[in-house]
Structure 1
């Protein structure tokens, strides 16, 4: 892995670098110098700095635009770019409109009337906005759809407008929700069961008590090409916990690569304290290599050992401070809390401003009940741009006695 500075990230202790990583500290510091920070916010909307598509940025950048009182017009102008730039701008503008920006709302509506990627934008608006904000664009949609090379795939808003959509040929499969766990396991064990039906059976099992009878079937539940486990198999095995460990020894030693990896992961997730030095060393090597994808799994394994894993703390703190892969940041904070929670109060307070929903949720439940943090939690509770889960958690925290854990 190349050094992070060779990957076009600014230094992690600069406002620009903090904003690129979606750190809460970046938002806090940007508010102290709005004029100098504005360029970094607009730059974050223009250029996608996410490490991968699981990372979140749109809400973070939209909230910064509101807090810094930035004009949405440069973002409206970005709609005229290529498809990716247009959709990045669209996501931010949708949120700004929800926060009350008339310019953002009208900029998107105007783009639907005249813009190149208007189909994708209108589909996005129909998912993000109340219907009364876009229903009156029906005549525009009917007038423009004939010039498109193909009919849209999504049902909304097109069927509401009376516009034909493409349909994917599909075979309706019966629901398996009514089957017993034993019947679902029998379907999985039957070699005549089609792969799609096996997936449905695994999905039905996921919502039930862990099924120990799944364990002997695991080696037969790979995809038809044998390269990976069926979707949801790993999640069902993880739910079995220590029950899967005896079988996992065999999978790891004798199975094909995909099964061997599943077995190795199960064993690593339930290993005893003898593996602790190796896990600390693994995290150290990941830090040396700047391996931004994967240390979150190592961090979760280390967290099981609590204070005994103290040797990992410097690396966990380094990953928290430096990683551009914001999706993994919550795992580092959870591991730090399990191993050595001293001095994390300011980290939890920073988490309230983080780009990732999972990290903000940690901040809401664990930030100290100071006036500043409770004020911030109140902002999250009332923010029309915020996710429903974060608003609900903030509401629960604030209705608990003196703002402590509900």
Structure 2
């Protein structure tokens, strides 16, 4: 969410504040006080409380409705809102339907027949639901699409319905799949290789063991105007870890802005012991300015110092509690676990109810083995709305020997 559209978040210890941030205690409290929570739950769908598009809320909100035994009817009514409100409601209703709500499923099917944003809704349910839940809407889709001004993109559900779709232009280029690492590096080094092919080569390299031979090629991997690196370059360099540090000392002095920034980031990601105080000050400054995007990077850097970064813990606690940017919350918990483990049992436990998949994965791996935790993990394992990754991790945890995995096992 950009600053000009920032909404006032409620206090992080209040029910509405917890729900706005997608935190686990909000879900637990909403279950205990269902009647009082209903307005806040529906508000979380009507208004987009996510800080930006990387944050998750749909599954969290769908669970609040199902577990609180709230009616899906107000959410069905939100389908009639603007395009973004409609899609938020659609995502929640899709999940509720998977959990067994006939009202949610029929509400979406009815919207496809009559609603304004029916194309996006139909494409969404086709990607999420079993085929037999939407295949019979073909006649409706063929009749309605004739009145639309734009031909939809393919493939599903349009190809299945025999509806003409627009095709994104495909430019034939050599595929790097199957090439050896040396051959991929040669493609990157060749000035005649098109940038799109270089990006494909980087994508292939990023699926393999880090290649030290990439390091001297990095300065060559910029866009023609020199303003930025090619896609996936930063990811490839990050995977090299400390191997890139010697070269980064030269990059940081380069006249090319993107290469200098990349070099500075590499050096900052691998600081020496004398950097701890400065990083703690950086995190403190981010807290003072209420900077919600970016402190996760500072936290990752501090986590490298383990207990020597203990002065950062008060700020990690505050960011964990206050940040509306739920995607970064996982990193604060990981850094907290690396620096000092006091108080983590309760945080890992509350993470089992968190809105973010990555945070729930931390909870599944590291929450203490007590009846409450194991019961919740069993719920996640069996929940048809839950992601495949969390369900798989829950199965592993429940079949593992008694004990607890460390946070690094996620």
Note whether the superposition's TM-score is higher than 0.5.
yes
Give runs of aligned pairs for residues 6-405 of structure 1, distance below 5 A: 7-402=7-402, 404-405=404-405
Cα distance in 2 between the residues matched to 1:73 and 1:49: 21
Listed one character per residue, the Cα deviations across residues 94-134 of structure 1 (whole Å, up to 9, x for unaligned) are 00000100000000000001111111100000000010100
- 252-261 or 213-222: bigger deviation: 252-261
Task: Measure how far apart 1:271 and its partner are.
Answer: 1.5
Listed one character per residue, the Cα deviations across residues 281-306 of structure 1 (whole Å, up to 9, x for unaligned) are 00000000000000001001100100
Cα distance in 1 between the residues matched to 2:3 and 2:139: 52
Unpaired runs of 5+ in structure 2? none
Mapped contact 1:252–1:259 kept (Cα < 8 A): yes
Cα distance in 2 between the residues matched to 1:12 and 1:90: 27
SS of match in other structure, 2:402: helix
Listed one character per residue, the Cα deviations across residues 185-228 of structure 1 (whole Å, up to 9, x for unaligned) are 11111111111011011111111221111111111111222222
Listed one character per residue, the Cα deviations across residues 225-245 of structure 1 (whole Å, up to 9, x for unaligned) are 222211111111111111111
SS of match in other structure, 1:402: coil
Task: Measure how far apart 1:3 and its partner are.
Answer: 10
TM-score (norm 1): 0.97
Task: Measure how far apart 1:403 and its partner are.
Answer: 6.0
Unpaired runs of 5+ in structure 1? none
Listed one character per residue, the Cα deviations across residues 273-327 of structure 1 (whole Å, up to 9, x for unaligned) are 1111100000000000000000001001100100000000000000000000000
Listed one character per residue, the Cα deviations across residues 17-38 of structure 1 (whole Å, up to 9, x for unaligned) are 0000001011111112110001
Task: Measure how far apart 1:62 and its partner are.
Answer: 0.2
**Runs in 1 of length 4+ with deviation above 4 angstroms?**
1-4
- 284-293 or 207-216: bigger deviation: 207-216
Cα distance in 1 between the residues matched to 2:385 and 2:325: 23
SS of match in other structure, 1:193: coil
Mapped contact 1:219–1:255 kept (Cα < 8 A): no
TM-score (norm 2): 0.96
Mapped contact 1:279–1:302 kept (Cα < 8 A): yes
SS of match in other structure, 1:171: coil
Cα distance in 1 between the residues matched to 2:251 and 2:75: 52
Task: Measure how far apart 1:154 and its partner are.
Answer: 2.4
**Would you say how many aligned residue pairs link Structure 1 and Structure 2?**
406
Mapped contact 1:93–1:108 kept (Cα < 8 A): yes
